[in-house]
Amino acid sequence: MSMRSASIVLGLLLVVGGGVAWFNLSKSQAPLEPTPAAQAQAQSFDPNRALLENERNTIEVVQRTGDGVVFVAVRSAPASRDLGFFAPFFQPQPQEGTGSGFVIDQEGHILTNYHVIEGADQITVRFHNDPKSYPARVVGRAEPLDMALIRVQAPREKLKPMRLADSDQVRVGQKAIAMGNPFGLEFTVTEGIVSAIRRNPNDGSASGKGAFVPTVIQTDAAINPGNSGGPLLNSRGEVIGINTFIYSTTGVFGGQAQSAGIGFAIPINLAKQYLADLKAGKDITAEEIIRSRPRLGITLSLLPMNQYPENIRRQNRLPETGLMIQQVERGGPAERAGLRSATRSVQLQLRSGQVIELGVNGDVLLEADGNPITNINDLRAVLLSKKPGEAVVLKVWRDGQTREVRVVPQIIR
Residue-wise pLDDT for 199-209, tens only, equals: 887 654 444 67
d(CA 388, CA 410): 8
Which one from 67, 100, 109, 115 is the annotated catalytic residue? 115
pLDDT by residue (tens digit) across 25-51? 233 334 445 555 555 555 555 666 667
Percent of the chain with pLDDT over 90: 59
Instruction: Domain 294-407: state its class.
Output: mainly beta
Q: Please identify which of the residues 100, 167, 195, 228 carries the catalytic annotation.
A: 228
226: closest CA among 116, 389, 342?
Answer: 116
Q: Which residue did the predictor score with more confidence, 17 or 388? A: 388
pLDDT for res 261: 75
Among 67, 100, 109, 146, the active-site one is: 146
Active site residue 283: no
**Which run of H or E residues covers position 232?**
strand 231-233
What pLDDT does 130 receive? 93
DSSP bridge partners of 192: 176
In this predicted structure, what is the pLDDT of residue 388?
81
CA–CA dist 182, 227 (Å, integer) = 5
Q: Mapping DSSP to helix (H, G, I), strand (E, B) and coil, where does residue 45 land?
A: coil
Say if residues 237 and 61 touch (Cβ distance below 8 Å): yes
The yes-or-no answer on residue 115 being catalytic is yes
Find the mean pLDDT for residues 183-199.
Answer: 91
Closest residue by Cα to residue 319 from 276, 268, 373, 386: 373
Each residue's pLDDT tens digit, 334-379: 999 999 999 999 988 888 888 888 999 999 999 999 999 998 888 8
Residues with Cβ within 8 Å of 142's Cβ and at least 6 positions away in sequence, in order, are 114, 148, 274, 277, 278, 283, 284
Instruction: Quote the pTM value.
Output: 0.72
146 belongs to the catalytic site: yes
What integer is the mean pLDDT of 375-392? Answer: 85
Give the least confident one: 237-251, 280-294, 339-353. 237-251
Strand 109-112 with 147-152, pairing? antiparallel
Q: Tell me, what DSSP letter sits at residue 410?
A: B
